[in-house]
């Protein structure tokens, strides 16, 4: 009889628990209908449902990623409007707006751009404007482990580029003139070995700079100096090898060696950007400097295509696009209406907890895996580490 009562009590408790879960689900669905989820505004239709877009499965998980990115765009737009800064959708985001009226179904990032003068203004206001949980992740706000002995006092709190990364991944982030705006409450893990840096979900902000030909030879020389300094910053071994082979440069060998050996990473990055800022008005062509210099993508655009803004629908919002957006897409992609799958940047991401929590969970999982792989599966399925 006692066992029967215990079983009845257990069933009653289970029913109460199910009732509480159902009540919670109803509350969550109501929040979604009202346009809120985890205190976030909803910018994606049917965010709680998987769907097929252009023959590609878009999961609710991916939609939550997109929703965070649209929230980042909203915050960025608010700050730009406050300071009268012009910005544009560019790259895959511009293509998504033009072709899909939203995200490209397999895309996982956001590409925005500013002309160099607006980009320089953003750098100045950013420390005061971007507050937690938003994180202003600028390429020049890093320090190299190899340069520890010459770090300036104001560089102590900068994020660190470890020696292994510096040797093997030069040319990629942060060796790329751009800014990322991140949401520190989230995870978008591009580098599992970099647990010490912010890896929240991000959007990219690219500066668009002038490209040759220039009004006169002075600007051409300055552009070439910026180019040589940038290569010396991101690929110093290439410069050292070229000097060894007695290749010719605009700069003297001494200037290049002093740049590489006497300045910190931050000082080098800011010097490159200062040169680009000074020559901005002296050309009618624009480009993404890093891609142009490294031959990754030498697309150039007419300044007049960026002379004004138009707006294109994007999910539940509208994004500013350069007035000549069709010319820009054609210059960069050719037949941009043809759909070509590009692999995502990351496989591990979540809008539900921070990158710090992610790495804590991963550390715990690794620790358990060393002891018993079967136990790991049980723990991962039944507990929150």
Tens digits of residue pLDDT in 332-377: 999 999 999 999 999 999 999 999 999 998 877 666 555 444 433 3
> Does pLDDT of 193 surpass 50?
yes
> Does pLDDT of 22 surpass 90?
no
Per-residue pLDDT tens over the stretch 26-81? 655 554 554 445 678 999 999 999 999 999 999 999 999 999 999 999 999 999 99
Note whether residue 276 is domain-resident: yes
Note whether residue 23 is domain-resident: yes
Does residue 144 share a domain with residue 121? no
Does residue 247 share a domain with residue 151? yes
Strand partners, 310: 321
Per-residue pLDDT tens over the stretch 133-144? 999 999 999 999
> What is each CA distance from 34 to 30, 31, 37, 64, 260, in whole angstroms?
6, 5, 9, 16, 55
d(CA 368, CA 186): 24
Note whether residue 364 is domain-resident: no
Note whether residue 368 is domain-resident: no
Predicted TM-score (pTM) of this structure: 0.85
The total of structural domains in the chain comes to 3
Does residue 347 share a domain with residue 227? no
d(CA 241, CA 228): 13
Does residue 125 share a domain with residue 66? yes
Radius of gyration of the chain from its Cα atoms, rounded to whole angstroms: 25
> Does pLDDT of 304 surpass 70?
yes
Does residue 254 share a domain with residue 147? yes
Does residue 162 share a domain with residue 152? yes
Does residue 246 share a domain with residue 150? yes
Does residue 252 share a domain with residue 105? no
Residue 255 sits in which domain range?
Answer: 140-172+212-282
Note whether residue 157 is domain-resident: yes
Does residue 241 share a domain with residue 199? no
Does residue 221 share a domain with residue 163? yes
Q: Residue 208: enclosing H or E segment and its boundaries?
A: strand 201-210
Does residue 192 share a domain with residue 161? no
Which long-range contacts (C-beta less than 8 Å, at least 24 apart) are formed by 321-324? 321/88, 321/89, 321/94, 321/97, 321/98, 322/88, 322/90, 322/94
Does residue 275 share a domain with residue 240? yes
| 206 neighbors 275 (Cβ within 8 angstroms) | no
> Does pLDDT of 5 surpass 90?
no
């Amino acid at each position: 009889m006692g066992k029967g009562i215990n079983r009845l009590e257990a069933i009653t408790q289970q029913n109460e628990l199910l009732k509480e879960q159902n009540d919670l689900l109803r509350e969550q669905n109501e929040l979604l209908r009202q346009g809120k989820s985890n205190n976030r505004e909803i910018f994606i239709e049917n965010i709680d449902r998987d769907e097929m877009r252009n023959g590609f499965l878009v999961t609710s998980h991916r939609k939550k990623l997109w929703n965070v990115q649209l929230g980042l765009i909203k915050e960025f737009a608010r700050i730009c409007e406050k300071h009268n800064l012009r910005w544009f959708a560019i790259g895959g985001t511009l293509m998504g707006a033009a072709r899909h009226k939203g995200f490209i179904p397999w895309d996982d990032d956001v590409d925005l751009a500013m002309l160099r003068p607006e980009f320089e203004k953003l750098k100045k206001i950013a420390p005061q404007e971007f507050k937690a949980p938003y994180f202003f992740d600028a390429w020049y706000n890093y320090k190299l482990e190899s340069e520890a002995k010459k770090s300036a006092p104001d560089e102590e709190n900068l994020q660190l580029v470890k020696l292994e990364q510096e040797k093997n991944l030069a040319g990629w982030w942060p060796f790329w003139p751009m800014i990322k705006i991140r949401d520190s409450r989230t995870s978008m893990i591009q580098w599992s070995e970099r647990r010490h840096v912010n890896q929240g979900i991000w959007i990219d902000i690219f500066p668009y700079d002038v490209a040759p030909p220039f009004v006169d030879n002075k600007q051409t020389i300055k552009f070439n100096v910026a180019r040589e300094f940038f290569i010396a910053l991101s690929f110093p071994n290439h410069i050292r090898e070229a000097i060894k082979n007695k290749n010719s440069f605009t700069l003297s060998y001494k200037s290049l060696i002093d740049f590489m050996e006497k300045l910190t990473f931050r000082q080098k990055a800011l010097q490159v950007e200062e040169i680009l800022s000074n020559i901005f008005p002296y050309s009618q062509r624009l480009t993404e400097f890093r891609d142009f210099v490294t031959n990754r993508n030498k697309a150039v655009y007419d300044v007049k295509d960026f002379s004004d803004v138009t707006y294109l629908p994007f999910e539940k919002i509208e994004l500013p696009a350069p007035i000549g957006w069709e010319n820009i897409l054609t210059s960069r992609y050719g037949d941009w209406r043809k759909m070509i799958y590009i692999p995502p940047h990351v496989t591990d991401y979540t809008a539900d907890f921070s990158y710090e929590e992610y790495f804590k969970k991963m550390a715990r999982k690794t620790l358990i895996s060393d002891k018993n792989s079967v136990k790991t599966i049980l723990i991962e399925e039944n507990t929150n580490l």
